[in-house]
Amino acid sequence: MAKRLLSGVHFLQGDEACAEGAVAAGCRLFAGYPITPATEISERLSWRLPETGGMFVQGADELDSLTIVIGAAWGGWKTMTATSGNGICLMQENIGYACMTETPCVIVDCMRAGPATGIATAVGQGDFYQVRYGSNADYSIIALAPESPQEMFDLTVEAFNLAETYRVPTFVLADEIVGHMREKVVIPQRLELAERKRPSVPPEGFVPWQAEGSPPVPAMPSLGDGYRMPVPGLTHSETGGPHRDNYEGHKKLVERLYNKVEADADRLCRAEDGCLDGADLVLVSYGSAARAARAAARMAREAGLKVGFSRLVTLWPFPDAYVKGLARRASKLLVCEMSMGKLSREVERAAGGEAEVLLFSKPGVELHSPTEILEIARKVL
Amino acid sequence: MVQVAQHPALKYFRHDSPGVPHLWCEGCGIGLLWHYTVRAIEELSLDPNKVVWVGGSGCTGRMCTYWNYDYMHTLHGRPLGFATGVKLARPELTVIAHMGDGEASAIGGNHLIQTARRNVDLVAICNNNFNYGMTGGQFSPTTPFGARTMTSPDGHLEHPFDLCELVKTCGAAYVARWTVVHQRQCINSIKKAIQKKGFAFVEIVTQCPTAYGRRNQLGQGADMMRWLRQSSVRREQAAQMSPGELAGRIVVGEFVDRELPEYGAALRELARRRGGEVDA
């Protein structure tokens, strides 16, 4: 059997690195529908999974793909799908089902310019809210945003770990530039991998949806393990039964599904920042846009301007406390994003008036250039 | 000492569920369909811990929630996708999906044709009662032309699917249709479907007296069952009849029983060819 962990130094495309991250994390089944700019993930997994004892399935569409991913997760496997924003549109109902049934799975969204078909081969960052709020009613998910092929590997592994730990669909919110660029990727000698919590009691004493521990999630048997497991999309009690008339039970369930992630926002927060010493202005961004913002901050410092940068890696749950901290340090936050102002709304909310929040938006297609950002920084300082 | 005999189906029934007593209407055919499924499982002496029921939404989708072992109660139209995932990861399990006619062929139509085409080793049972019952009786892709439903008060304008022909054309390994009145044939076909290595589709035509029957003057549950029996014609006999003679008749029998390469087995074989071992 081929190695799952290709330790060493590689020159990989972001999508390829993502596929390697999945295999390294123990992914056993991938199902996905071809879509630019995520297709290369499918292509690599169509041979990397079989040679490592896994399965690649090309779904008939994105609905088919995610249902198969969720089903196989209940068969006991780590599973993943990958798509772009259009595909996320089609997956939304299944995402809600995965949240309700606390199914660990990884969903990669290589964002492209939209709306609708938009420009398939061009970058965008417009799916920021789509991955968080696209399905009906209240739930919570985790989303991580890579800025490089290296992080396409690292954060895909991390997404599997978080999905297993929190029993929640976890997004790798990448974009076309990160997915298609080629860079050096270092795959380590060994990885820390998380596994889902399994029942510690025999079937007779097992309460299928009783949540314990931190985060508060139930133990998850696989189907066929003898636990008489109900996997219900309906509001359910701890025993799994339909809960049509129990409003208290509904409240308890939905609040737990929401809070198991949201209440852990600080623990889940990952961010990178620099040049913050005495910064009057901090550039806030994520994904490929953050590469330009980082370069702009360094150019600004060389020019003697007090500009720092912050790159959010965890987008959901939104790192409120971290952003509030940035707002307390600087008088202005300039959000650089390739959408018409989504990240900036969250930054403004989290800043809570501690700093003025400004937006440099582009509706996808074109990445901000460091020079452009520097120009704006000069004007607003 | 007095021995109290337990109903043989009781061990399969999730009687401690808040969903009990069940939600189906008086005279509904789904209870019989539930019974036929567990009879097939019982007669094959399957370990029920190795049988997973998958359902979606609607009256038929609820069948799985009364199964006392593993079940997935999923989304409207999508049981076959979830079932495929379970079966690929756990080939030793018998995975049975029950779907209503609307679920199977309208919202879930693509899953049905793609799963049949892939020939995934699943048991797909379609409860065809000619309408969407749980939402109050609207027309579905199997509603007969001219029939009255809540959304076709002047008579249905569309022509119905022949689901067995559809699934057969798509590449299913086993296809049969019976009405709920054909008790032994239904049980035997479900048994064959379970034993078939490949995609097996059993359409069972049932009565929905509350919604479909009432609006089409077909009477109560028992009246509708008589109607189902009288409308049925065996496939062999139907082959000798003209289209005019077949109008309004339900053609029953086995339509396909063949050996075809199965999808999960093909994926496992692919892994072996690549040097991987899925079940290692």
Q: Are residue A31 and residue A156 in the same domain, yes or no?
A: yes
In a domain, A314, yes or no: yes
pLDDT of A246 = 82
Taking an 8 Å cut-off on Cβ atoms, the answer to whether B271 and A223 are in contact is no
Q: Which of A139, A105, A102 is nearest to A221 (CA)?
A: A102
A263 in any annotated domain: no
Q: Is there a contact between B71 and A70 if contact means CB atoms under 8 Å apart?
A: no
User: Residues B168-224: pLDDT tens digits?
Assistant: 999 999 999 999 999 999 999 999 999 999 999 999 999 999 999 999 999 999 999
Same domain, A279 and A182: no
Residues 270-329 of A with CB under 8 A from B: none
Helical residues (DSSP H) of chain A, grouped into ranges: 14-25, 39-51, 62-74, 85-100, 130-133, 149-166, 176-180, 247-262, 265-268, 287-302, 320-329, 343-351, 370-380
Q: Which of B64, B82, B84, B170 to mutate to test the interface with A (most CBs of A within 10 A)?
A: B82
What pLDDT, on a 0 to 100 scale, did the predictor assign at position A283?
A: 98
The answer to whether B180 and B32 are in contact (CB under 8 A) is: yes
Average pLDDT of adjacent 10-residue blocks, chain A of 381 residues: 97 98 98 98 98 98 98 98 98 98 98 97 98 98 98 99 98 98 98 98 96 96 98 93 82 97 98 97 98 98 98 98 98 98 98 98 96 97 92
Query: What is the length of chain B?
Result: 280
Q: Which residue of A has its CA nearest to B91?
A: A75
Tell me which chain B residue has its CA closest to the CA of residue A64: B81
A74 reaches B (C-beta below 8 A): yes
What single-letter DSSP state applies at residue A221?
P
Contacts of A267 (CB under 8 A, 6+ apart): none
Contacts of residue B69 in chain A, CB cutoff 8 Å? 228
Tell me if A224 and B93 make a contact (CB, 8 A cut-off).
yes
What is the pTM (predicted TM-score) of this model? 0.98
- Contact call for B73 and A232, based on CB within 8 A: yes
Q: Which residues of A touch B75 (CB under 8 A)?
A: 67, 93-94, 97, 233
For residue B125, give the nearest of B194, B198, B171 by alpha carbon. B194
Q: What residue in B sits closest to A93 (Cα-Cα)?
A: B75
| Encoded tokens for B130 | 């000619």
Indicate whether A265 belongs to any domain. no
A82 domain residue, yes or no: yes
Instruction: Answer whether B120's CB lies under 8 Å from B264's CB.
Output: yes
Cβ contacts (< 8 Å) between A4 and chain B: which residues?
none
CB distance B85–A67 less than 8 Å? yes
**Å from B149 to nearest chain A CA?**
27
What per-residue confidence (pLDDT) applies to B2?
A: 72
- Do B191 and B114 meet the contact criterion of CB atoms below 8 Å apart? no
Q: Which pLDDT does position A180 carry in this prediction?
A: 98
Domain boundary among A171, A187, A203: A187
Report the residue of chain A nearest B271, measured CA to CA: A50
Show residues of chain B in contact with A61, CB under 8 Å. 110
> What span, in angstroms and rounded, lies between the C-alpha atoms of B99 and B136?
17
Question: Taking CB atoms and an 8 Å cutoff, what residues of chain B touch A2?
Answer: 274-276
Question: What gap in Å lies between CA B209 and CA A31, rounded to an integer?
Answer: 41
- Does CATH number 1.10.357.10 belong to domain B24-268? no
Of A136, A155, A187, the one marking the end of a domain is A187
Asked if the structure places residue A211 within a domain, the reply is no
Query: Which chain B residues are within 8 Å of A70, Cβ to Cβ?
Result: 82, 85
Q: How many CB atoms lie within 10 A of CB A128?
A: 27
Last residue of a domain, one of A187, A222, A242: A187
Binding-site residues on chain B for chain A (CB distance < 8 A): 14, 16-19, 49-50, 52, 54, 65, 68-75, 78, 80-90, 92-93, 110-111, 114, 267, 270-271, 273-278, 280
CATH number assigned to the domain comprising residue A42? 3.40.50.970
| ipTM confidence | 0.97
Q: Which pLDDT band, with edges at 50, 70 and 90, does B21 fall under?
A: confident
Is residue A26 left, alpha or beta, with left meaning phi > 0 and alpha meaning psi from -120 to 50?
A: left
Residues 76-105 of A with CB under 8 A from B: 76-77, 79, 93-94, 97, 101
Task: Identify the residue among A46, A64, A95, A103 best suited for mutation to test binding to B, counting B beta carbons within 10 A and taking the highest.
Answer: A64
Mean pLDDT, chain B, whole residue set: 96
Q: Looking at the partner chain, which of B65, B110, B270 has a beta carbon nearest the beta carbon of A60?
A: B110
User: Residue A42 has what pLDDT?
Assistant: 98
Pick the closest to residue A187 from A365, A12, A372 (CA basis). A12
Q: CB distance from A45 to chain B under 8 Å?
A: no
Q: Residue A76: its chain B contacts at CB < 8 A?
A: 89-90
Chain A residue numbers with beta carbons less than 8 Å from the beta carbon of B52 are: 223-224
Do the domain assignments include residue A201?
no
Checking if the pLDDT of B1 tops 70, the result is no
Predicted pLDDT of residue B170: 98
* Contact: B73, A243; criterion CB under 8 Å: no
Chain A partners within 8 Å of B262 (Cβ): none
CATH number at residue A365: 3.40.50.920
- What is the domain range of residue A127? 8-187
Picking from B115, B158, B143, B138, the residue whose alpha carbon sits closest to that of residue B205 is B143
Mutation for B interface: A55, A235, A243, most B CBs within 10 A:
A55
A75 CB neighbours in chain B (<8 A) are 85-90, 93
From chain B, the residues in CB contact with A68 under 8 A are 81-82, 84-85, 88
Contacts of B93 in chain A (CB under 8 A): 75, 223-224
Residue A264 domain-assigned (yes or no): no
Amino acid at A243: H
Same domain, A174 and A289: no
Q: Is the pLDDT of residue B18 over 80?
A: no
User: A67 and chain B: CB distance < 8 Å anywhere?
Assistant: yes
Q: Are A175 and A275 in a shared domain?
A: no
Start-to-end Cα distance in chain B: 51
Q: Compare CB distances from B276 to A2, A31, A76 and report the shortest one's residue.
A: A2
Mutate to test the interface with A, among B65, B88, B103, B119 (most CBs of A within 10 A): B88
CB nearest to A64's CB, from B71, B92, B114: B114
Q: Number of folded domains in chain A? A: 2
pLDDT classification of B6: cutoffs 50, 70, 90: confident
